[in-house]
Structure 1
Amino acid sequence: MNADSQPLIDCRNVRKMFPDPAGVPFAAVDGVSFRLSPGEIVGLLGPDGAGKTTLIRLITGLMKPHEGSISVLNLDSVKKARAIQASIGYMPQKFGLYEDLTVRENMELYARMHGVSGQDREKRFRSLLSMTSLERFTTRLAGKLSGGMKQKLGLCCSLVSSPPLILLDEPTVGVDPLSRRELWNILGQFSREEGVGVLVSTSYMDESAYCNRTLIMYKGGLLMDAPPADVIARAEGMCITVRTPEGIHARQFQSRLAALPGIINATPQGGTVRIILPRDHPTRQKLEEYHPQPGQPDFSDGFMTLLAGQTDLTPQDIPAPAETPPPDQGTGGETIIQVTDLVRKFGSFTAVNHVSFSVSRGQVFGLLGPNGAGKSTTFRMLCGLLPATGGTLNVAGADLRTAAARARRRVGYVAQKFSMYGMLTTRQNLEFFAGAYGMAGKERRDAIRSMEEEFHLTPYMNAPAAHLPGGYKQRLSMACGLLHSPDILFLDEPTSGADPLARRDFWLRINSLAEKGVTIIITTHFLGEAEFCDNMLIMMDGTTLAEGSPDEIRNYAPPRKDGAPASLEDAFLAITEEHMRKGGEES
């Protein structure tokens, strides 16, 4: 890359103001300056509400800055907004695919919108379809594609006009690790072969490895503009690992360590817990009994240390862990969910094919798999939202094929996408869901008051749910799911799009619930979170590929070239790729 080349993006002291729910103006983007050159991939990272989406929309010319200037392809973002939009590739969080059109029809529509026709169009289509492995699906309706395939089609539509610059806003949210890797490989190929500049926001810290530079935002400001290695270096000497004592699960030990003063982050990893702690902090002395070992920092560690310099990262509003850890509930105990030979067909298509597993009371159980694996269908059957075609499914002592309503009264459900009623206030949402669970009178009032206090919702009780900050939307969803004190809590991609700080606080709360005996069933594409599970099931093409504890699943991973311990993501990719290889051989 030529350092003297004309930048594709040149932002100078950009500021954008918005009113908060009380009408007080605040800076969503505050004095941001950076450049992006041809052939460069730049990652945009930051916690929820940092200003990432606002900055991208300013660059596209969809919004006007209150202060500063933005030049895109040497065009002023205010005066030449339409020319910019016609010249770049832009993929927002909710990309506008037409679900009743086929893959090819969607691409043809976007080609016509950008004036691409004739031989140029056909050559471009062949290249894009080959690169994204969508050649076999050109006649399939977009609405029938898996999440990962929809993202690839959205990328094809964004790239159909051969733009010199691509802007992508969280393109991998809700996408499995296999599809995420494929998307990044496609972006890398375009960057290398065509000199395309790429600006992409992401909540997955590991994706920084694909970027030349990273921009880290916080409260509208730009904290750091540097290569990923420089961010990682911030945590040098601060990462240590301690072995989990006998008799408790690593996630239970993690909740206790996370409550200690000075701990920036703590994550379970096999039989150990990785801790980020300043080098000379007094808490290090308290950890000596666990024989701490130095660890290798990663980008997430550097990210968290950078945020720690801006705010107090001590977990807030999280129930304190019990002084005496409960026994490890990962094995044994009362079986609260029993699934045997579960089958679900949609016409001639078998979405779930003879799946069996069991879950004990107080366990955290993960349902994992690529997009389209059948885990969401299994999840919906467990919740009683979808009837099974065959097999038996017993939840909380009730057979869901004969007593679904009775079982549903003992479960709570938190959907992947915010599913509260946006025009209703926080209080009205709680009242509505309490009524849906059959609660009335004093029981309902006490339950709402309890959830208000536990999730610290008091400042927002009279605010419309649609106007809540992202973290409080998640709290409200959890509060509504827990109003009736369920025995089982179902969580469908609950941290999709969340940053490491939000994920940390979420899992501290989940650990607290599990210690009280609540059984947690969770789907997630974030493999780091699977370390919190007692057991997990990995599915693909409707069948079970692997089941076991995190340590048992990790055994599926091949040895790493760098000698580092295998991760759950290594194991997940090995398991799914082996299944795909066998499928290819059989066909």
Structure 2
Amino acid sequence: MNSPAPALSARGLSKHFLAKGLRQTALDDVSFEAQASALSALVGPDAAGKTTMLRLAAGLMHASHGELSVFGLDVAAHPQSVQDRISYMPQRFGLYDDLSVQENLDLYADLHGVPRNERGPRYARLMEMTDLGRFTGRLAGKLSGGMKQKLGLACTLVRSPELLLLDEPTAGVDPLSRRDLWEILEHLVQKEGLAVLISTSYLDEAARCSHVVVLHQGQLLAQGAPQTISQKAGGLCFLATPAPNQPARSLQVRLLDAPETLDAVPRAGQVHFIRSARAVQQGDPALAAVLDHASHTSTPPTLEDGFMVMLRTQGQPDARPHAPAPASERAPAEHAAGDTVIEVKNLVRKFGDFVAVDNTTFNVRRGEIFGLLGPNGAGKTTTFRMLCGLLPATSGELKVAGNNLRTAGAQARLKIGYVAQRFALYGNLSVQENLVFFGGAYGLYGKRLRERIEAAMDQFQLREHSRAAAGQLPGGFKQRLAMAAGLLHEPDILFLDEPTSGADPLARREFWRRITALAEQGTTVVITTHFMEEAEYCDRVVIQDAGRILAMGTPLEIRRQAGNAQGAQITMEQAFIDIVERARRQDADEDASGTAHPSTAAAEEGAS
């Protein structure tokens, strides 16, 4: 009996582009298969070739060399026949913000020629699957980020494909929506026999797939079941428990800076780290000095561990992030470390009758890394924009760097650096030109501006790209440039809005090594993120939903508020989900009984 044809088969696939007369290789002799009725993942650092692979599979471009087939059909020879059997959801799916949920569905059904007699049952199933049935009349532009992704997936599935291609569908999506999207995908595979090929920067997502393809600089590093790739780090992974009152990120930095450490990340109050095979085989005599009395135990490897080991041992130069050099000639801080630099009291922001931020109170201390967490649409971005002076408060008190934002916003903004969620620099200007422009906007000129640009070029390893157009940089270098521009004037406070959205593990490590070093130098960092592992780097976090503070405290205190007395055996992602879902259940019960919602006084106890 013949085995069924794979959903997708690539043989010796290569793709070259011409850029300014030079040939650039996006894919180089890549071969793999994605099976029917299965979840397969493409993973790899920035510029690995993941998006190119998906666009080739969708018939949107042609390979330079090699063979590519979908369900036995040659994609190059029969692109329309292939496109009739697949659906493709790119990173920025084209929803129409001024159309309602229902109108977007109708539009895509029209584009795909879905017969009208088939639409009713299909719409009903998609709305049930995505939980968007209550919002069919809402404009797409008014949906939260997670709801937009669900609507994009529904529009992609408005016809019945046999193969679904998804490019980073959960980038910028909160943990609750990520969980919902993956439940939908697993249902489609298990119940409807759909084949799914997904690119993702989140290795915990890839671990849910039956087959993982690891790409790096256009080449295939490895492929196989997640467990097979995980075992590349077998016997090399450990968990270290910091000494009492020692932040996990401090131990992480010490491990990262030590020879023979391949990776280290904070995890549930501990530090998960990987040592080289050479060190482990020799008994690792240097480890005790690095740990400095912190206890450690071996732990099973994850898919991300195997991924990081491959990057460190197969052609990737030193992948460990390095701390930025100390800021030169930095002006002395006006206040001592630990002084309050952001004061928020009874902050309210309304849009018409809608209350986006409801009576919020907290403060942030100098040199602290402070996280604003919450589901899409929770009010954290609105809070964030008010803190930056980009949006006025409806009522309440707000002081930043000693300045009241209502009366002295201009003075406060001179002490603030800001990195937007989406790349917000000038794509047609070079790296050098962007830095000159933003330096001038921050009041830097002449010798001082030249010195700061030179320092930024070195600090963020941008010198070799100084003449490249910013819009043409790989994602990781765009992030470096945005950080460099935000730090040119050496601000007291740095605001970062989901800066690692869609970034691969390697880029996230590099980013957080820099942020930790900045905090050690006295810079206050306020950050929003949907990647809950990153909350472990924060000194304190706030979790918001429906404009209200649900929890506040250190990562350990947040885990305890989630109901875990020890706070050590639960991840921040699970704590986040538990806290938000518990609050939503309470609100639903109170709405049903007519009882007013409780005040946020309990959360506000941690504000000081």
TM-score class, shorter: over 0.9
- Deviations 1:141-167 (CA, angstroms, capped at 9, x unpaired): 001000000000010011111111100
- What corresponds to 2:421 in structure 1? 416
Shift of residue 346, structure 1, vs aligned partner: 0.3
- What corresponds to 2:286 in structure 1? 286
Match of 2:455 among 429, 450, 456: 450
Find the residue that maps to 1:234 and give its secondary structure: helix
Match of 1:540 among 522, 540, 545: 545
- What corresponds to 1:328 in structure 2? none
Closer/same/farther in 2, CA of residues 332 and 439 from structure 1, 3 Å limit? closer
Q: In 2, distance between residues paired with 1:581 and 1:316?
A: 42
Q: In 1, distance between residues paired with 2:517 and 2:523?
A: 9
Question: Could you tell me whether the CA contact under 8 Å between 2:268 and 2:568 is conserved in 1?
Answer: no
1:565 aligns with 2:569: yes
- Deviations 1:416-468 (CA, angstroms, capped at 9, x unpaired): 11111011111111111111112222222222222122222221222211122
Q: In 2, distance between residues paired with 1:360 and 1:23?
A: 52
Q: In 2, distance between residues paired with 1:258 and 1:230?
A: 26
Closer/same/farther in 2, CA of residues 249 and 321 from structure 1, 3 Å limit? farther
Q: In 2, distance between residues paired with 1:366 and 1:287?
A: 31
1:115 aligns with 2:149: no
Q: In 2, distance between residues paired with 1:557 and 1:74?
A: 50
Shift of residue 3, structure 1, vs aligned partner: 7.9
Q: In 2, distance between residues paired with 1:139 and 1:362?
A: 46
1:504 aligns with 2:509: yes
- Deviations 1:292-342 (CA, angstroms, capped at 9, x unpaired): 2112322211111121221233435533799xxxxxxxx982001111111
Question: Could you tell me whether the CA contact under 8 Å between 1:40 and 1:191 is conserved in 2?
Answer: yes
Where do residues 65-84 of structure 1 align in structure 2 (5 Å cutoff)?
65-84=63-82
Q: In 1, distance between residues paired with 2:512 and 2:497?
A: 14
Find the residue that maps to 2:364 and give its secondary structure: strand
Shift of residue 280, structure 1, vs aligned partner: 4.2
Question: Could you tell me whether the CA contact under 8 Å between 2:214 and 2:222 is conserved in 1?
Answer: yes
- What corresponds to 1:370 in structure 2? 375
More displaced stretch, 445-454 vs 131-140? 445-454
1:581 aligns with 2:573: no
Q: In 2, distance between residues paired with 1:557 and 1:230?
A: 34
- What corresponds to 2:301 in structure 1? 297
Find the residue that maps to 1:268 and give its secondary structure: strand
Closer/same/farther in 2, CA of residues 558 and 237 from structure 1, 3 Å limit? farther
- What corresponds to 2:524 in structure 1? 519
Q: In 1, distance between residues paired with 2:299 and 2:313?
A: 21
- Deviations 1:518-546 (CA, angstroms, capped at 9, x unpaired): 00000001111110000000001110010
- What corresponds to 1:171 in structure 2? 169
Q: In 2, distance between residues paired with 1:315 and 1:574?
A: 33
- Deviations 1:470-521 (CA, angstroms, capped at 9, x unpaired): 2221111111100111000000111111111111111111111001000000
Closer/same/farther in 2, CA of residues 568 and 3 from structure 1, 3 Å limit? farther
Shift of residue 43, structure 1, vs aligned partner: 1.2
Letter in 2 for 1:38: A
Q: In 1, distance between residues paired with 2:212 and 2:590?
A: 43
Q: In 2, distance between residues paired with 1:524 and 1:507?
A: 12
- Deviations 1:229-265 (CA, angstroms, capped at 9, x unpaired): 1122222211112232455422122112101112111
Question: Could you tell me whether the CA contact under 8 Å between 1:319 and 1:512 is conserved in 2?
Answer: yes
Closer/same/farther in 2, CA of residues 31 and 540 from structure 1, 3 Å limit? same
Match of 1:155 among 137, 153, 166: 153
Question: Could you tell me whether the CA contact under 8 Å between 1:487 and 1:518 is conserved in 2?
Answer: yes
Match of 2:430 among 420, 425, 450: 425
Q: In 2, distance between residues paired with 1:455 and 1:132?
A: 41
- Deviations 1:263-309 (CA, angstroms, capped at 9, x unpaired): 11111234432211124416932222433211232221111112122
Find the residue that maps to 1:65 and give its secondary structure: coil
Letter in 1 for 2:500: T
Find the residue that maps to 2:558 and give its secondary structure: helix
Match of 1:483 among 478, 481, 488: 488
Match of 2:263 among 259, 265, 282: 265
Q: In 1, distance between residues paired with 2:568 and 2:458?
A: 44
Q: In 2, distance between residues paired with 1:290 and 1:555?
A: 22
- What corresponds to 1:5 in structure 2? 4
- Deviations 1:168-220 (CA, angstroms, capped at 9, x unpaired): 00000000010001001001111111111000111111112321111111111
Letter in 2 for 1:572: F
Letter in 1 for 2:463: T
More displaced stretch, 451-460 vs 131-140? 451-460
Q: What 5-or-longer segments of structure 2 have no aligned partner? A: 328-335, 592-608
TM-score under structure 1 length normalisation: 0.94
- Deviations 1:50-77 (CA, angstroms, capped at 9, x unpaired): 0000000000010100111111133221
- Deviations 1:77-114 (CA, angstroms, capped at 9, x unpaired): 11221232233111000101111100011101111111
Match of 1:400 among 405, 410, 430: 405
- What corresponds to 1:325 in structure 2? none
- What corresponds to 1:440 in structure 2? 445
Question: Could you tell me whether the CA contact under 8 Å between 2:312 and 2:319 is conserved in 1?
Answer: no
Match of 1:124 among 107, 110, 122: 122
More displaced stretch, 241-250 vs 474-483? 241-250
Closer/same/farther in 2, CA of residues 480 and 201 from structure 1, 3 Å limit? same
Q: In 1, distance between residues paired with 2:259 and 2:286?
A: 10
Q: What 5-or-longer segments of structure 1 have no aligned partner? A: 323-330
Question: Could you tell me whether the CA contact under 8 Å between 2:268 and 2:570 is conserved in 1?
Answer: no
Shift of residue 564, structure 1, vs aligned partner: 8.3
Letter in 2 for 1:82: Q
- Deviations 1:365-393 (CA, angstroms, capped at 9, x unpaired): 00001000000000000000000001111
Find the residue that maps to 1:555 and give its secondary structure: helix
Q: In 1, distance between residues paired with 2:33 and 2:241?
A: 44
- What corresponds to 1:346 in structure 2? 351
Q: In 1, distance between residues paired with 2:283 and 2:456?
A: 33
- Deviations 1:114-150 (CA, angstroms, capped at 9, x unpaired): 1112331110000000111000000000010000000
State the superposition RMSD in angstroms.
2.0
Question: Could you tell me whether the CA contact under 8 Å between 1:556 and 1:574 is conserved in 2?
Answer: no
- What corresponds to 2:366 in structure 1? 361
Closer/same/farther in 2, CA of residues 564 and 515 from structure 1, 3 Å limit? closer
Q: In 2, distance between residues paired with 1:246 and 1:569?
A: 23
More displaced stretch, 424-433 vs 464-473? 464-473
Q: In 1, distance between residues paired with 2:255 and 2:538?
A: 18
Question: Could you tell me whether the CA contact under 8 Å between 1:557 and 1:574 is conserved in 2?
Answer: yes
More displaced stretch, 409-418 vs 461-470? 461-470
- What corresponds to 2:37 in structure 1? 39
Question: Could you tell me whether the CA contact under 8 Å between 1:260 and 1:283 is conserved in 2?
Answer: no
- What corresponds to 2:179 in structure 1? 181
- What corresponds to 1:54 in structure 2? 52
Number of aligned residue pairs:
575
More displaced stretch, 522-531 vs 31-40? 31-40
- What corresponds to 1:236 in structure 2? 234
Question: Could you tell me whether the CA contact under 8 Å between 1:259 and 1:314 is conserved in 2?
Answer: no
Q: In 2, distance between residues paired with 1:316 and 1:303?
A: 16
Closer/same/farther in 2, CA of residues 487 and 305 from structure 1, 3 Å limit? same
- What corresponds to 2:15 in structure 1? 16
Question: Could you tell me whether the CA contact under 8 Å between 1:262 and 1:283 is conserved in 2?
Answer: no
Question: Could you tell me whether the CA contact under 8 Å between 2:321 and 2:509 is conserved in 1?
Answer: no
Letter in 1 for 2:439: A
Letter in 2 for 1:73: F
